Amino acid sequence: MKYLIAGLGNIGLEYSNTRHNIGFMVLDALASASNAVFTSQRYGATAEIKHKGRTFILLKPSTYMNLSGRAVSYWLKKEKIPVENMLVVTDDVALPLGALRIRKKGSDGGHNGLKSIIEVIATQDFNRLRFGIGNDFPKGYQVDFVLGEWSSEEKKVLPERIDMAGSIILSFGTIGVDRTMNQFNNK
């Protein structure tokens, strides 16, 4: 069984330590834990890990957030992975810092990466792991907050939550989305 795990973010050093790039950060940690290395490919950097007989294709799109759908669609087709075997890892301002929620479907919630994926693959019915980044910003400053770098206090929370996100991804591939939701959504 093959799974596509798409971590959303923006390429470039200026974005590497921003809240919007948590999808990239989660995939980097998961690849590192498995001694996998990302290689630049069409529409993104990919790494492959194996876990309990499953193959996980980790994708960090190089299309920038607003065009993530192009990369996701390409890799789903290239690897012949059904949409139900895809998990998109994304930041979410509607969740408190470090909160993790896996869902089977939903709207884009104002997230341009999810909006692009929904438009290109023509469905909202795909799994997503929402990583809470909080919403500690004044009205009208969401873009600055999301594209801003993590504070030193936020950075203290990240390692454990990123590890948990990796566990959720592996669980998704081994015991399925429903059991993973039951096991992790309230932790």
Active site residues: 20
DSSP 8-state code for residue 23: H
Neighbours of 99 (CB within 10 A): 16
Question: Whose CA is closest to 50, among 64, 36, 65?
Answer: 36
One-letter identity of residue 148: G
In the chain, DSSP finds a helix count (H) and a strand count (E) of 6, 7
One-letter identity of residue 43: Y
How many residues in total does the chain contain? 187
121 phi/psi in degrees, rounded to 5: -90, 0
One-letter identity of residue 34: S
3-state secondary structure of 91: strand
- The tokens describing 23, both together, are 């999808």
- The tokens describing 32, both together, are 């590192």
